[in-house]
Structure 1
Amino acid sequence: MTVVKNVRLFPRTADAPAVDVEISEGRISGISPASDTAPDHSEDGPRSNGIGAEVVEGAGRVLLPSLGDVHAHLDSNRMGQTFRPHTSDGTLHGLIMDDRENWRHGERSVAAQAAFAVGTIIASGGTRIRSHAQVDSDCGLERFRGVKEALDAHADVLDFQIVAFPQAGIVREQGVRELLDAALSEGADLVGGLDPLLYDRDPVSHLDTVFDLAERHGKGVDIHLHETGTAGVFSLEEIAARTKALAMSGQVTVSHAFALHTSPDAQVRRVLDLLSEAGVSLTTVAPQNGVLPQSVIAEKHIALGLGEDGQRDHWSPYGDGDLLRRAWQLAFTNGFRRDEDIEHCLDIASRGGAQIMAGARPDGSPLTEDERFGLAVGAPADFILLEADTVTSAIMDCPRDRDVFRSGRLIASGGELLGGLRLG
């Protein structure tokens, strides 16, 4: 057993009382008022409280749930490399082709660069990642295999999923269906898609391919949907219909879903009802021009998670692997000021991503009372310790000195992943 002493659990006020958190078999097994009992000290082993428990000194720090990047592109990031000026023309096709022309010119292999990003994400407090990995006629399975190698190397400190992602389309390029099929056979957890109407210009064939592959392999679906307005509404309706017809509740995610930001309120509510009924989840990357209706999504009990998308890649110079900073961005782009709204952004960054990866949906319970994905007794002991006054101040200040725990074990501290797991 481990005892994390004298921590303030998800505090909403600066004077919130401290508690001791007991951990057994990787889960929170008890929460009690902080004890003044000093731990015994052993010359040869970890600190003990006299009954064989290892003691972690919380020193009054804030305990927050660990975070998750559930929309990453580990095969595209350029973090830690020499800065490269942006060269795309700004169109979706231009961004895709600029990435295609330049991804081989990095300073590290795909696996090594993905591993660098994984280490950075974990050190920021992330214990789960869902990464898209590009599969197309240019790269074949090279980028998918590099991402898989990096994630597999961190399997003991990270929960992860890989999406076989046809970023250059399915219909407009030959052989992509076969490549997606091969990636799913090699271990991809989900099959992706991208703008079936406006990019591939054949929504029926595109979505039929995605859902047929998912059904045949028994895998999930995660579709990028940049389509706005009527086009995006149409695609969301088609995705919901296929999800419901194939009884894939909890297995389908729509990333971005910009139509929910660019359509009339009545239409947005109608579409969210369809997604809720079908069991479709959503992810956002907190963009400036794509704020999702978070309160309505929560009202409909739709799982919503947060990701960084790319990190200093060929698409954009933004993103640094810090998931707490991305929670700040989610609050900022929404224009939130009230603590409860800002706290909800951290809930999305933590519990929301965990629910998506588990195929679950929110039940409206407070995070501190959720024994499956939150911080209640019974929940996984995946958490961050940092210096802050409250949850909101932690998000606003983003202190870099964080201790990150997975299953009750310290895996990162002071901005560094422990154990030397990064690939060179």
Structure 2
Amino acid sequence: MITIIRNARPWGGALADVIMNDGAITAIAPAGPDPAPGGGTVVDGRGRILLPSFCDVHVHLDSSRIGLPFRPHTGSPGVWNMMQNDRRNWRDAEVSMTERTTTTLGRMIANGTTRVRSYAQVDVDCGLERLDAVIAAREAHADRADVLIMAFPQAGLLRESGTPAVLEDAVRAGADLVGGIDPCALDRDPVRHLDIVFGLAERYGVGVDIHLHEPDQLALFSTELIMERTRALDLRGRVTISHGYGLAALPEPTLRELLETFRELDVAWATVAPARTPLPLVTLAEHGIRVGLGEDGQRDYWSPYGNCDMLDRTWQLAFTNGFRPDRLIEHCAAVATVGGRSVIDPSVRLASVDDRPGVAVGDPADLVLVPGDTVTAAIMDRGPDRTVLHRGVVVADHGELIPDGAA
């Protein structure tokens, strides 16, 4: 199926016509009156900027109240306390968990996200109920987005009897990655915690994603243990550190030495653009570290923040890093798009801070048109006039999903 985007500006450049077939970009030519003789579906770019679609590599689809009435925040500080607050409330929401995950994913797609890595909480309290809801959301939007699921022991692995068995059940049920969280600070037994996580990864051939909220030296210790297991099991390119802002607080010589190990073992990093201790994006780019962006929770029982808009989170990434030059702000867009793809697929790379890939012949036809004079202006203004394509098919326009079969 041929699709032609007319009069668009790839990465804010000159007007062009972009031709797609079989889910990939097949040709790019200067804008003209007839970009593809013989017909095809034509999308009017109207001079908008054409970017790779967004890739959210750190989102909790099962932790969302998007579309529901706003409620006051009732959590108290600390991972365990916040998790308990979530437990007390998530079953009492106005609609089912499946409806919440499906609605949230749909809004993400409508705003321009077509690749997602979502966590699904699994523990002795919820069993696989939340995993099943994330799977249902993936199936509901299978023609609009590609979704990977991470089985995530939000409550830790060792504080409640039976959790490792539930985590293994989740991997058996189809989770694409196995997760861990704060091996020292939460479970207080990093060796046993990581042995369970990496043991499941080895046994079932899945990737690993570790939530790391720990402070600097503790985060460093946990990361060194993660690296040991990555090397021992030869899981190069299959391990991700999420958050890890404690590592960003390390002295620069220590951090740079650690990043050499990241590079050697091709360990990726996922950030949600935290307000404090942002990741040093330029330094990570200099070391060739794969970095992606995510939205975390969405107006949930953990936090009132989150709106399903990765362009908004791109602005936050630039803002929290204090970026002002256009090239650095545009780099945030590269991280939010192709950077996320690189976390999922290690064969994809951002070559440098100035690399703007993803809209060239041979690239996947997962694209988003956004309004703006420049890419930086698009990030600053975050206008709603967007058209979203997945595998060369329009799946959303101006904030609304296209019904299946109607594109």
TM-score class normalised by the smaller sequence:
over 0.9
1:375 matched to 2:351? The reply is: no
2:268 to 281, 296, 312: 281
In structure 2, the partner of 1:143 is: 130
Deviation at 1:141, TM superposition (A): 0.8
1:21 matched to 2:22? The reply is: no
Using structure 2 for the length normalisation, give the TM-score. Answer: 0.96
How far apart, CA to CA, are the structure 2 residues paired with 1:211 and 1:386?
A: 41
Is the 1:203–1:235 Cα contact (8 Å) retained in structure 2?
yes
Aligned pairs for 1:34-53 within 5 A? 34-35=31-32, 37=33, 50-53=37-40
Residue 89 of structure 1 aligns to a residue whose secondary structure is: coil
Count of residues in correspondence between the two structures:
403
Structure 1 residue identity aligned to 2:217: T
1:207 matched to 2:194? The reply is: yes
In structure 2, the partner of 1:385 is: 369
Residue 218 of structure 2 aligns to a residue whose secondary structure is: helix
How far apart, CA to CA, are the structure 1 residues paired with 2:120 and 2:14?
A: 44
Residue 8 of structure 1 aligns to a residue whose secondary structure is: strand
CA separation of 1:10/1:202 partners in 2, compared to 1, >3 Å: closer, same or farther? same
How far apart, CA to CA, are the structure 2 residues paired with 1:199 and 1:50?
A: 61
CA separation of 1:353/1:140 partners in 2, compared to 1, >3 Å: closer, same or farther? same
1:33 matched to 2:30? The reply is: yes
> Which digits, 9 at most, give the CA deviation of each residue in 1:305-358, with x for residues without a partner?
000000100110000001100000000111111100000001110001111112
In structure 2, the partner of 1:6 is: 7
How far apart, CA to CA, are the structure 1 residues paired with 2:403 and 2:345?
A: 27
How far apart, CA to CA, are the structure 2 residues paired with 1:207 and 1:356?
A: 21
1:259 matched to 2:256? The reply is: no
Is the 1:343–1:392 Cα contact (8 Å) retained in structure 2?
yes
Higher mean alpha-carbon deviation, 109-118 vs 16-25, is at 16-25
In structure 2, the partner of 1:93 is: 80
Deviation at 1:38, TM superposition (A): 5.4
How far apart, CA to CA, are the structure 2 residues paired with 1:140 and 1:74?
A: 16
Deviation at 1:361, TM superposition (A): 5.4
Deviation at 1:244, TM superposition (A): 1.3
Higher mean alpha-carbon deviation, 323-332 vs 25-34, is at 25-34
Deviation at 1:260, TM superposition (A): 2.1
How far apart, CA to CA, are the structure 2 residues paired with 1:322 and 1:188?
A: 25
> Which digits, 9 at most, give the CA deviation of each residue in 1:43-92, with x for residues without a partner?
xxxxxx54233322222111111001110111111011111101112222
CA separation of 1:147/1:255 partners in 2, compared to 1, >3 Å: closer, same or farther? same
Structure 2 residue identity aligned to 1:292: L
1:183 to 170, 177, 186: 170
Is the 2:338–2:348 Cα contact (8 Å) retained in structure 1?
no
In structure 1, the partner of 2:58 is: 71
Deviation at 1:223, TM superposition (A): 0.6
How far apart, CA to CA, are the structure 2 residues paired with 1:401 and 1:6?
A: 15
Aligned pairs for 1:7-406 within 5 A? 7-11=8-12, 16-35=13-32, 37=33, 50-360=37-347, 362=349, 364=351, 367-368=355-356, 370=357, 374-406=358-390
How far apart, CA to CA, are the structure 1 residues paired with 2:287 and 2:34?
A: 47
Is the 1:71–1:306 Cα contact (8 Å) retained in structure 2?
yes
> Which digits, 9 at most, give the CA deviation of each residue in 1:83-109, with x for residues without a partner?
110111222221111011111011111
Structure 2 residue identity aligned to 1:312: R
The root-mean-square deviation of aligned C-alpha atoms, in Å, is 1.5
In structure 2, the partner of 1:46 is: none
| Runs of 4+ off more than 3 Å | 365-368
How far apart, CA to CA, are the structure 2 residues paired with 1:344 and 1:407?
A: 24
Is the 2:120–2:134 Cα contact (8 Å) retained in structure 1?
yes
Deviation at 1:367, TM superposition (A): 4.5
Q: Which runs of 5+ in 2 are unaligned?
A: none
How far apart, CA to CA, are the structure 2 residues paired with 1:240 and 1:295?
A: 22
> Which digits, 9 at most, give the CA deviation of each residue in 1:236-266, with x for residues without a partner?
1111111111111111111001222221111
Higher mean alpha-carbon deviation, 258-267 vs 126-135, is at 258-267
Structure 1 residue identity aligned to 2:158: V
Structure 1 residue identity aligned to 2:346: G
Deviation at 1:272, TM superposition (A): 1.1
How far apart, CA to CA, are the structure 1 residues paired with 2:239 and 2:371?
A: 37
Using structure 1 for the length normalisation, give the TM-score. Answer: 0.92
How far apart, CA to CA, are the structure 1 residues paired with 2:182 and 2:287?
A: 24
How far apart, CA to CA, are the structure 2 residues paired with 1:213 and 1:327?
A: 33
How far apart, CA to CA, are the structure 2 residues paired with 1:63 and 1:363?
A: 18
1:416 matched to 2:389? The reply is: no
How far apart, CA to CA, are the structure 2 residues paired with 1:175 and 1:29?
A: 51
How far apart, CA to CA, are the structure 2 residues paired with 1:265 and 1:30?
A: 44
Identity %: 49
